[in-house]
Amino acid sequence: MAEGDGRTTCSGGSEEEEESDMEEMEEEAAGKDGEGRVYLPGLPLAEGEELVREESAYRLFQRAQTGAPCLSFDVVRDNLGEGRTEFPLTLTLCAGTQADTAQANRLLVMKMHNLWGNKPRKETSDGETDSESESESSGDEEEGGEGDRKPRLEIAMVPHHGGINRVRVSELRAGYPVAAVWGDTGRVEVWELQQPLRAVADAQGMRHFLQEQQDRLRPLHSFAGHMGEGFALDWSPTAPGRLATGDCKRNIHVWEPVEGGTWNVDQRPYTAHSRSVEDIQWSPNEPTVFASCSADASIRVWDTRVGPARGCMLTEAGAHGSDVNVISWNQHEPFICSGGDDGLIRIWDLRHFGDGVAVASFKLHSAPVTTVEWSAAESSVVAAAGADDVLSQWDLSVERDGPGGGGGGDGESGLSHLPPQLLFIHQGQRDIKELHWHPQCPGLILSTALSGFDVFRTLSV
Q: What dihedral angle (degrees, nearest 10) is formed by the CA atoms of 263, 267, 273, 278?
A: 30
Rounded CA separation 127/378 (Å): 35
Q: Are 349 and 335 in contact (CB under 8 A)?
A: yes
Query: Nearest Cα to 11, choosing from 374, 407, 412?
Result: 407
What's the rounded mean pLDDT across residues 237-246? Answer: 97
Q: Are 426 and 37 in contact (CB under 8 A)?
A: no
**What pLDDT band is residue 148 in, cutting at 50, 70 and 90?**
confident
Rounded CA separation 239/191 (Å): 18
Rounded CA separation 184/163 (Å): 5
**What pLDDT band is residue 129 in, cutting at 50, 70 and 90?**
low
Backbone dihedral angles phi then psi of residue 306, each to the nearest 5 degrees: -85, -30
- Give the number of C-alpha atoms closer than 13 A to the C-alpha of residue 255, restricted to the C-beta side: 27
Q: pLDDT, tens digit, for every residue of 323-351?
A: 999 999 999 999 999 999 999 999 999 99
What's the rounded mean pLDDT across residues 157-173? Answer: 97
The pTM of this model reads 0.86
What's the rounded mean pLDDT across residues 399-415? Answer: 53
What integer pLDDT is reported at residue 124 of this predicted model?
53
Rounded CA separation 118/142 (Å): 16
**What pLDDT band is residue 127 in, cutting at 50, 70 and 90?**
low
Task: Evaluate if residue 132 carries a pLDDT over 80.
Answer: no
